[in-house]
Structure 1
């Protein structure tokens, strides 16, 4: 198994949907995610990411095995039954090593009390875990919530699509978040997630100046409503980074990290941002932290580690990680070409560079953009994202070895 962290480590397994209606899965999943988020805001805890907890969804779980697989000492499991406007929630805190129940509770409430129940579960877990987990953070942990249960319902439905992270799923998530906002124009988390969708879509190459201005508006609204949301700061940081406002962007990335060091997805994006800002050794350490918080992480983490490895001079590791990440859009080929080039694998470097230039030119033709005069112009847009000249040079150097003539 994995070595245990030096602070109380915990994973919240997906709460079972006891409603007898598979349509209600999104609701029990949403409750689980809310509890994970609330716990992750305590710096004194080590909390496994939702993505990895959900590997155990719908399976009969051997608790010892789950604890060992995720590398944690404590597990939370529970169930949700929703009938009309009543909910019943059960929750147990378990010592994964022994299988002993340390705490268990059942709540029968009306649906309007859902947030109180989540707070009670979170606070009971935190109070029961060993060590003095500072109370001050509980205050910070309170989220700015909605009074409108239908809006909350749309948020949870949106989250179901948000976590699938494909182009079409993100568009569906956006539609549902927009509905939540229609019902409650002060729903901070819905604005935050809406902006995050735009950020993720842009990362896939669906971006334009208009998108950025739109995202900026949305995320500023989210932050005006709740300045403690780490995803809002992350999205703002990326929006500023893509506009080359490096110092402002850096401030937002730092704020993101200060608010939540347990949110693995957030940290993986933050690590990539740090690569562009030239904080490359920190980026390398952060993405490795994220991988430990999220042992079943998506492939994108390998790309971030590959990037961080490249810009800290670990070229063989960069090749290995970028390849492990698999295909994820056109820049993958340019990044791999540079890494192969620096690692002295010139034949493979040339092949990747060729794939990149052909695909990139085709992409520009299809979008009606003018054809760049030189291959160098094909990568200018990406080069400008690096704050430090030394990193731009390192990227170019790898690409020249791969066949970039400039």
Structure 2
């Protein structure tokens, strides 16, 4: 019998070898075992290649400002599995995680015996939906991968959001913008409004077609609403048919303007869904939002910035912010990534931006070897150190500003190590 959170993690760790399993048949069995919590949840579903977590964070903060009890499901986590499931910014307790997991064990065992074992991710999604059904006024659910076949796509949302479309997880989602967009658009539900960000034209065409088929009202950034800024300055102006007002961000990263604009449009849209948000609650919530691991300064002396960019589009956005905020500073990069990412493209983007690059690795079966990254780079001042902990231990001797990026998992481990060193 599972009695401690350590036993929960051991149970779920063993199931990590199952890997990613697209399809909804297993999660529907698990949901049936706990009386379909997904049908009793007021939810917003957020998909996209990048920007999901930030858009969700902006919205959660504003909804809390409006005095709603806000549940969130995000993945993966920078720290613990508990952090994936939150209520008003507080992670689910160990006791609650254990209690809601125990409700599923019999059905998990049945599926295992059938030869169709549910993955760790599927199990955690069901724990999240059941817990949030019992405690939240409204739940913000971040899709894991894709949308159509993702375990989170069992919710019946009052609003769907697709933040960005990039070429990530191509071995599952396809290698064209059209194919990837068709997966992301799987979260669009009949007659349910959908908000989309700045997307490639090919992706917009696919999403428009699906929205029309489902008679889902579509709101596109750059068409039905937009933002206006001068030289990447804060605040920016939000604009739609009925509103124009300045929005201040409490978090940095040029790319956050895009994500905050989506959040504002979504929050205004919720006023059509029997929710009540004032402009002031929206503005205060956005301004008060802090987002761990997204262009986050984690040290002052020396200056250290972590950013969880983990694909080519994310790295391009990270570099845009580096150039905007630190155009003339000498800077080094510490980089590690998963071996199934577009390594050459990501390294080509960072090579000309940094005065020196240290390639490293971390504890994960998908982590690329540091020496393999080193050989791809053409930066003249490159180094290789396989153990990221050794690299971080030398930070205190640095005077140059340092950036850490390449993988959310790596950034989470680095962030924890730096905070421990402090």
Whether these two folds match at TM > 0.5 is no
* Larger gyration radius, structure 1 or structure 2: 1
TM-score, length basis structure 1: 0.32
Structure with greater proportional helix content: 1
TM-score, length basis structure 2: 0.32
